């Protein structure tokens, strides 16, 4: 479990030092009034609840990439209606086209269509806020060494994933 008081990157640096056989990218999911975005390749935290354009600008100021998770999910803070405008304005780098916590695959399909319409690469996420969710979705892709080569590698990525329901937040009360 990551201690939220540690600086951004400390947990990622510790994970990378373990040589797990997987690339570790420092990033964070950031809540905006329009919905969630993820900043990838970050060095500093970005405050929550800033306007979407300010958040994407702060991500880019760090040389990071703007990744949009669960773009049309009705159960979580998705960009939904704001997404097309953000893509058209050049504020999005990657759109999540498969999220393992979305039961309605039509929502993942809509995300894939939107990414294709704007010529953006697709991503995949386990959305693993619980141990059982880890590895439910991922990308098989060529290696990369930074944000630009990450985007280039996404062009050849293969989405692998399966639906896994959300973990229960609280144990059911005895009968």
The answer to whether the pTM exceeds 0.85 is: yes
In a domain, 168, yes or no: no
- Rounded distance between C-alpha atoms, residue 161 and residue 37, angstroms: 21
Q: What average pLDDT does this structure show over 33-62?
A: 96
Average pLDDT, the chain: 88
Q: How far is it, in rounded angstroms, from Cα 60 to Cα 142?
A: 23
Least confident of 20-34, 87-101, 138-152: 20-34
Range of the domain at 52: 10-161
In a domain, 4, yes or no: no
Count of positions (residues) in the chain: 175
Q: Helix or strand or coil: residue 28?
A: strand
Structure tokens at 122: 């697709």
In degrees to the nearest 10, what's the CA dihedral of 128, 104, 87, 76?
A: -50
Three-state SS string across 36-54, please? EEEEECCCCCCCCCCCHHH
Asked if residue 3 belongs to a domain, the reply is no
Residue 150 lies in a domain: yes
Report whether pLDDT(17) > 90. no
pLDDT tens for 50-89 read: 999 999 999 999 999 999 999 999 888 899 999 999 999 9
Does residue 169 lie in a domain region? no
Q: How many domains does the chain have?
A: 1
Q: From the DSSP assignment, how many helices (H) and strands (E) are in the chain?
A: 5, 7
Mean pLDDT for the stretch of residues 12-22: 79
CATH of the domain at 23: 3.20.20.140
Q: Please work out, in degrees rounded to the nearest 5, the angle formed at the alpha carbon of residue 152 by the alpha carbons of 77 and 44.
A: 50
Rounded to whole angstroms, the Cα distance separating 87 from 102 reads: 22
Residue 55 lies in a domain: yes
**Is 30 within the bounds of a domain?**
yes
């Amino acid at each position: 479990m990551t201690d939220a008081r540690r600086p951004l990157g400390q947990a990622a640096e510790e994970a990378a030092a373990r040589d797990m056989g997987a690339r570790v990218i420092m990033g964070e999911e950031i809540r905006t009034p329009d919905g969630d975005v993820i900043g990838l390749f970050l060095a500093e935290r970005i405050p929550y609840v800033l306007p979407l354009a300010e958040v994407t600008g702060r991500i880019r100021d760090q040389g990071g990439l703007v990744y949009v998770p669960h773009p049309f999910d009705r159960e979580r803070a998705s960009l939904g209606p704001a997404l097309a405008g953000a893509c058209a304005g050049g504020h999005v780098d990657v759109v999540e086209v498969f999220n393992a916590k979305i039961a309605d695959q039509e929502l993942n399909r809509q995300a894939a269509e939107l990414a294709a319409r704007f010529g953006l690469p697709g991503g995949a996420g386990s959305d693993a806020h619980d141990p059982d969710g880890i590895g439910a979705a991922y990308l098989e892709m060529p290696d990369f060494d930074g944000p630009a080569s990450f985007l280039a590698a996404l062009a050849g990525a293969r989405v692998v994933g399966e639906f896994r329901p959300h973990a229960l937040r609280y144990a059911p009360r005895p009968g």
